[in-house]
Structures are given as C-alpha cells and as structure tokens.
Structure 1
Amino acid sequence: MKLLSVAIPCYNSEAYMEHCIRSLLTGGDEVEILIVDDGSARDRTPEIADEYERRYPGICRAIHQENGGHGEAVNAGLRNATGVFFKVVDSDDWVNEEAYQKVLETLRRFVYRGESLDMLVTNFVYEKEGVRRKKVMKYHTAFPKNCVFSWKDVKFFMIGQYILMHSVIYRTQLLRECGLELPKHTFYVDNIFVYQPLPHVKNMYYLDVNFYRYFIGRNDQSVNESVMIGRIDQQLRVTRLMLGYYDATKIPNQKLRHYMIQYLEIMMTVCSVLAIKSGTPENLEKKKELWNTLKKQNFPLWLRLRWGFLGQGCNLPGKGGRELLILGYKITQKFYGFN
C-alpha cells in the first residue's frame, strides 16, 4: 500500500508531461504515480508513459484508455489508486520539491499514528507565463494552521479564495465512499472533484506551503477566456450537476453550508459572465434558462443566489448591473486563473 497516489491525466501531453512526472518522482517509493494516457493519438504520450513505468517499476504506472476527457482520466486514476491519499496533478503543472517533502511528512504522520485525515489543503502558485511576480493562493484567513480542525473551526474565506483541485488532497476511500465519478468528455469537472466530497469531510489539515504549481499561458488551455466561452455548454453542465448533488440550503453545518452556497454562486456567476461576454442571443437564453430552472427546482437556493451580491450583477440591467458584473468577472478570473 502506498502513502499517496497521484493521478496525471495526459492527453497529447508530450511537450510537458515529463516535467510534471519528474517533479513527483522526488517523493520516492511511498508515492504511486498513475500516468493516465487518455487516448492520446498525435504524439508520444503513450510511449512516454510506458517508458516511465519501465524505468520506475513500483512507482510509475501507465494506464491507457480510450479518450474520455479529463474527468474520465481522473476516474481511472481513482479506480487504480492504492494509496491512502489521492491527488490529481495536471500534466502541464508540477509540484515544488521542498513543499512536497513536507506534504509527505504530514501524511505519513497521520498514517503511522493510525489517525484519520479526510482532506489536506496546501497553497498553490499561479505560474502564469510572462509574469515575474507569481500569485500565491493561500488559506491562512480561512483555516487554522498545522492542526486538525473541522468545519466549525473554519474562519473567513476572502473573495476569490476557494478550495480548488490544485490545493486539495483527499483520503482515497472517502472519494470512493461518496460515490465520486466525474462525467466523461466534459471540461471544468475539477469543480465537481472538490465540491461533491465536501459534506463527507469531517476533519482537515492546512499545511501552509506552496506545493502545487499551476501553469497558465497556453492558448488552448481550458481556462483561457475565449476557450471557456466556446465551451459554455460544458460549464453549464457542470454547474447543473453541482446544483443537483445536494440541497445546499439544508447542509447542517452552518459554515459548510455558507461555503457551498458561495461556491455555487461563483459557478452561476461564471456561466452568466461567459454568456453575457459571448454576446450571442443563444447563450443569453441559456443563461436565462439556467436561472429559471434553478428557480423551479430549488426556490430557497435561487433566492440566495439570485439576490446575492454576484447574482444581482448577473441579472440586473443598466450601469449598476454591469459594474457588479465586472466585479463578478474579476472574481471568476481569480477563481479560475484565466486570462
């Protein structure tokens, strides 16, 4: 059994996947690196995955599958994981070696003491191409540091400060027990990966290290604004799924309930902003349908989101509405790190 399983979803990732793999190899034998080749056909991704399995037996495993999208690659990683904990690192990202050792030391401490930990949170760095001063997403205002805590101990989340896939390591069995299965052929499922398990998380630990390095700069990245507008249907699908997992207004713990509603507010804002910025009547109608469907399905949640600060900006006409919309857009930029 491994301490940590790391899934690397790869699709035609020849140009950068080795940097990612090499950064994770510094974890040694306690780490299992699951290189998921998601039906790559245009480059040497499958061969590179096999090569690392040959060179590092017992650490690297190559998993080949028909193309199913990012979510299905994460699913494949989770199905094959043998580690106590599970992490996803995208193939164009990497981890910091010094912070990595501290992460493993922390996870090791819990396992060796026989203590349960559901979720470990670390900082991540926006490695934006061409930017000298890198932005770091920290959580010191939201979480106590270097101690086990529960949702009742959570403090204050600042605007744009959310738990993202880059910052989270889950207990593997928790992900299986909560029934996590990401949809195929859909982008932006990392939101589901973080959101769906949250009510099952009973204890957490925040390690204040800059562990994950999140690369931004390729024109074809899913978080590029023009790409997001072109894939608005997938953003809408993910948002609808998230709205349906739980009735967020009835989550028993007040702080978790507040956080999950805030998360849904951001998702609705992202959809609304993209629809408005696209400028097409078709997308504006999709935005209207999303809000109307929520109103019919869960009126209390619709009230919370529609008349929240961002919800008003997404739905009000005129200058005031546009100003709120611009603020919401800036928040979504922080949330996703897109250009």
Structure 2
Amino acid sequence: MEKLLTVVVPSYNVEKYLEETLESFVIPEIMDDLEVLIVNDGSKDRTPEIGAAYEKRYPQTFRLISKENGGHGSTINRGIEEAKGTYFKVVDGDDWVDRGGFTELLHRLKTSGADYVVTDYYKVNDGTKEKKLETFPYLKAHPKCRFEVVVGNTDILMHALVIRTAILKENGIRLDEHCFYVDNEYITFPVPFVETVEYYEIPVYMYRLAQATQSVSMQGFQKHLPDHVKVTMRLVQFAAKYSEMSEENKETSPAQKKKAEYLNNRAAVMVGDQAGIFASFPGGNEEIRRQFLAFDAEVKKTSEEIYRLSGEKSHMLAALRKRNFKGYRFWTWVSRVRAKVRKV
C-alpha cells in the first residue's frame, strides 16, 4: 500500500531509547498514511527485538529491517531504497517526535506538493529535560517559496526536514557509509533538484542532547576527526563541481546560480568548523598541525571560491592563512579557553 510519509529510524544499540521513539508514532488517526522503517544497523543489544515487537503489533505501519553494521549513512541509504511514502523523513533511534506536531505534519502533507517541507523542532537536554524551540523566522515570512529565496537566509538542518521521496530515488542520492556526520550530506546532496520549499510553524522533531561523548560534541569531533574531514571534503568537491557546471552552462538560470551560492556557503561553513576542530587539539600536536595544513591546501586546490568564503566565515582561519600558519599554538590555546568558558 502506498503511504504518505516514510520515516526511517536508524537504530544501533538504542534499546534504552527505541521504545520511546517508536511509541511516539503510534497515533491511530494517521497510521494508515505512515510507514516507519526501523533499520537495525547490526545492533548487539535488544534493538531488533524491540523493533520486531512493534512490527508484530502494528504491521500496517512498522517494518523492521536488519542489516550488517554500515553506519548512519547506510541506514538512510537502505531507507531510501525501501521507502513507499510520497515524503521521507529521518528520525534517529534515540530521538522522537512530538505527537501533536507530527499529526499536524501528516495532515498538511496531504496537500503540500513541495520538494522540501521544513518544520520547527525542539532540542531536549537529556539530563534536565529542558526544551529549547528552534524556529525559522525568515521562512515564517515566506512559508511557500522557491528554493532560491532561502539562499543566504536560512540554514535547514536534518531535524527540521521532510523531503519528497522521488527526489532521493530518481537522482540516486546516496550517503557515505561507515562514517559519522553524513547528515550534512543528506541535507546538501538533494539541493540541485529542489525547486520548492514549504514551512510549517509546528514543532515536530525532538532532538535529544546527550553526553559530552556525543559525536557532535568537541570530544566526539576529535575522536572522529577523519570522518569529519572526509565529509567536509566531499561537500567541498560536490559544491565545486556544481558551481563549475553552472558556470560552463550558458543556459544556467538565476535559480541554479543561487543554488551554487548556497552550496559554496554550506561547504565554507563546514571548512570553518573543521578548522575549529583542528584548533581544539593541543598546539604541540605536530601530527594534527600537519593534517590541518594538508586539509587547507586541499580545499584551496579544489575550490578557490570556497577557500575564500571559509576565510570570511572563520576569523581564526583567515588569521592563520595570512601568517602562513604561524601563531598556530596561540589559536589552539584560544580555542581551548573558549571551550572552557562555554562550559561555565
């Protein structure tokens, strides 16, 4: 049976959270329109048993897919292959959805037709349970618009995003596997094919902020440094290639030029973030300094424009380049001091 929305739930050793995640989708009035794919990524705990229980209880909505471990990107890739819904959303196995907001989302999707649908979301502190609402003020003034209107005004994150499934399937969108941080690929790779955006001012996704060891903490970034470098360079290469094609094509539309601008800026932000990760290591770590220099040279070689933009977005990176990376130890000290201040 065709569905309105497919939700992929990437699940790896999430027995502590998965029942809360799946239970948030048990809303009788919308379950006929909903497909939930629980993609078990080779878990060693009770994750597959919990998923199987929901599949047995609600077979019209839940489906368990068990596979060998391949990382977050592999679960999304498998979800794209299996999806039967008109629209597609990712909800990680340790997060959940607001039942009221999610119900409203399903009702509105029936008449949408947009390529990207954007909603508000909550960041939830796992310890204090404090919630912070994340909204999109610019889209509030432009709730239905062409994608090029968004460029330079709004940064759309995975937690807020619903994508028309055909865009993913028909254009062969695939993410890196055995790799962290591929959510950046997920929100970037469809951009060349997106024409329309619709915004619903309703909170849907509940994003759990966990411990300091989370992959998106600085400790996590340091631990998974090669993965962040890999994803950053893939986005730089992707943006550079799209920009080159746009420049070479005499029939390139203003909308395509705007998309090239958007992709270049997203890649430049990632480069600046990567510089911050390198600088978070102690200044005496010569191997990290060597990797930093090699990374920066590769960015410049791949795209002079993204190299320039990244310097505009990161004052530290601009200062290091200006002095040929002299003063590197000073900037690593500044980076660590700032990190300590943020913790206070």
Q: Secondary structure at the match of 1:215?
A: strand
- For the 8 Å contact 2:14–2:93, the answer to whether it is kept is yes
2: CA distance between counterparts of 1:278 and 1:289?
Answer: 16
1:235 maps onto 2:228 in alignment: yes
1: CA distance between counterparts of 2:158 and 2:77?
Answer: 14
1:13 is matched with: 14
- For the 8 Å contact 2:265–2:306, the answer to whether it is kept is no
- For the 8 Å contact 2:37–2:63, the answer to whether it is kept is yes
1:296 maps onto 2:301 in alignment: yes
- For the 8 Å contact 2:124–2:130, the answer to whether it is kept is no
1:113 is matched with: none
2:181 is matched with: 188
2:149 is matched with: 153
> What's the CA shift string for 1:65-104, capped at 9, x where partnerless?
0000111011111111100000000011111111112111
Q: CA deviation at 1:180?
A: 1.1
2: CA distance between counterparts of 1:255 and 1:72?
Answer: 30
- For the 8 Å contact 1:124–1:167, the answer to whether it is kept is yes
Q: 2:262 aligns with which of 259, 262, 286?
A: 259
Q: More deviation in 232-241 or 175-184?
A: 175-184
Q: More deviation in 1-10 or 213-222?
A: 213-222
1:224 maps onto 2:205 in alignment: no
Cα distance, 1:292–1:143 mapped onto 2, change above 3 Å: farther
- For the 8 Å contact 2:213–2:219, the answer to whether it is kept is no
- For the 8 Å contact 2:151–2:259, the answer to whether it is kept is no
Q: Secondary structure at the match of 1:274?
A: helix
- In structure 1, the gaps of 5 or more residues are 111-115
1:272 maps onto 2:275 in alignment: yes
2:79 is matched with: 77
- In structure 2, the gaps of 5 or more residues are 247-253, 321-326
Q: More deviation in 15-24 or 219-228?
A: 219-228
Deviating 4+ runs (over 4 angstroms):
248-252
1:4 is matched with: 5
2:170 is matched with: 177
Structure (1 or 2) with the larger CA radius of gyration:
2
Q: CA deviation at 1:296?
A: 1.5
TM-score under structure 2 normalisation? 0.85
1: CA distance between counterparts of 2:151 and 2:37?
Answer: 35
Q: CA deviation at 1:271?
A: 1.1
Q: Secondary structure at the match of 2:66?
A: strand
1: CA distance between counterparts of 2:18 and 2:213?
Answer: 16
- For the 8 Å contact 2:37–2:62, the answer to whether it is kept is yes
Q: Secondary structure at the match of 1:3?
A: strand
Cα distance, 1:175–1:242 mapped onto 2, change above 3 Å: same
For these two proteins, the number of residue pairs brought into alignment is: 318
Q: More deviation in 129-138 or 67-76?
A: 129-138
Q: 1:49 aligns with which of 34, 48, 51?
A: 51
1: CA distance between counterparts of 2:289 and 2:72?
Answer: 27
Alignment RMSD: 2.6
Q: CA deviation at 1:2?
A: 0.2
1: CA distance between counterparts of 2:129 and 2:22?
Answer: 24
Identity of aligned residues (%): 30
- For the 8 Å contact 2:151–2:261, the answer to whether it is kept is no
Q: Which amino acid aligns with 1:256?
A: K
TM-score under structure 1 normalisation? 0.86
